[in-house]
Amino acid sequence: MAMSAQRDRARSASSFGADYDQDIKLDAQTEFTGYDHLEDQCILSALQERPAVTSLQDGEEGIVVLDRTPFYAESGGQIGDCGKIEADGAVFEVTDTKKQGGNLFCTRVS
- CA separation (Å) from 68 to 14, 28, 51? 22, 11, 25
Query: How confident is the model at residue 98, as a pLDDT?
Result: 86
Residues 90-99 have pLDDT tens digits of: 888 898 888 8
Question: Picking from 42-46, 49-53, 57-61, which range would have the lowest pLDDT averaged per residue?
Answer: 49-53
Structural domains present in the chain: 2-109 (2.40.30)
